[in-house]
């Protein structure tokens, strides 16, 4: 068991606040602004979700972002480790652990999506309640833009949540789902104006936190059994395919920086300006 004080200030890309009633808010950020997903966050979030899952004093978790996006910006230059086999193994290990660690959070999880989710939408799909703003859109953008297999869990969870044909189309065509369509497809429970998003998330979380502790905890466990089986059975294989495809891309472009391999249009598309 881990105590909140032991990890509250450990993570540079996550601000952690817990109410007296046990509602833990995880606010993802980079330097107090919109999150820029990079190799550091890829590694850091494994430990973050592990610590949250091991803290028995937390009753409900709210996961949200900072600014006008939940997660829409990637720094590919930080993933230079992918140029070697050891880097591919790191990608696979961290990718598997972050999924299992989210599922090991044995209390209800509320995702409050404050804007676009263009990468790692699997975090939201593993939540029990998903709130979005009218500005929220979903897309799996970076994988195919960089010529890499989308095998980090989106390949398993999108077909499960919205249906096999819809899910495969979403990933293969890099489809953009607006909030209303996502709600129609069953990805989003409620669409809330941005100004009221956290208030609504807290309202739901406090209601759940008022339940007997084992009731809420065991309900989360009961409701995620199928997702756990899906992740356990398929995550390793999907991530191995992703790593192999990444190594293939790197082999075709023997340049030290991953960003240097990407056309300027691709860098712009994934949120990294050519000047970076």
- Active site residue ranges: 122
Exposure string over 93-112, b if 16+ CB within 10 A, otherwise e: ebbbbbbbbbbbbbbbbbbb
CA distance 215 to 86: 42
Q: What does R_g of the chain's alpha carbons equal in angstroms?
A: 18
CA distance 78 to 31: 16
Q: What is the DSSP letter of 76?
A: G
Task: Enumerate long-range contacts of 14-17, CB under 8 Å, 24 or more apart.
Answer: 14/44, 14/45, 14/48
CA distance 52 to 150: 26
Count of alpha carbons within 13 angstroms of residue 193, beta-carbon side = 2
Residue 253 to residues 144, 147, 228, 259: CA-CA distances in angstroms? 16, 12, 37, 11
CA distance 109 to 53: 11
Contacts of 102 (CB under 8 A, 6+ apart): 49, 53, 109, 123, 126
């Amino acid at each position: 068991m881990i105590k909140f004080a032991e990890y509250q200030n450990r993570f540079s890309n996550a601000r952690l606040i817990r109410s007296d009633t046990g509602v833990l808010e995880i606010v993802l950020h980079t330097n107090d602004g919109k999150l820029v997903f990079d190799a550091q966050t890829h590694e850091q979030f494994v430990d973050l979700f592990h610590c949250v899952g091991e803290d028995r004093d937390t009753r409900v978790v709210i996961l949200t972002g900072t600014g006008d996006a939940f997660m829409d910006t990637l720094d590919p230059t930080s993933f230079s480790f992918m140029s070697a086999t050891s880097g591919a193994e790191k990608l696979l290990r961290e990718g598997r652990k972050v999924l299992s660690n989210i599922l090991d959070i044995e209390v209800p999880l509320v995702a409050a999506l404050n804007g676009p989710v263009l990468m790692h939408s699997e975090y939201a799909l593993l939540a029990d309640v998903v709130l979005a703003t009218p500005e929220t859109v979903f897309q799996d953008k970076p994988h195919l833009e960089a010529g890499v297999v989308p095998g980090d869990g989106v390949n398993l969870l999108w077909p499960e949540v919205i249906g096999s044909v819809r899910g495969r189309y979403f990933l293969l065509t890099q489809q953009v789902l607006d909030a209303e369509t996502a709600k129609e497809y069953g990805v989003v429970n409620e669409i809330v104006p941005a100004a009221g998003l956290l208030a609504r998330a807290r309202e739901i979380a406090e209601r759940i936190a008022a339940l007997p502790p084992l009731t809420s905890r065991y309900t989360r466990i009961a409701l995620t059994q199928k997702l756990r089986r899906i992740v356990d059975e398929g995550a390793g294989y999907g991530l191995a395919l992703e790593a192999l495809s990444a190594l293939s891309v790197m082999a075709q472009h023997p340049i030290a920086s991953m960003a240097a391999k990407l056309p300027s249009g691709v860098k712009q598309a994934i949120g990294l300006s050519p000047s970076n």
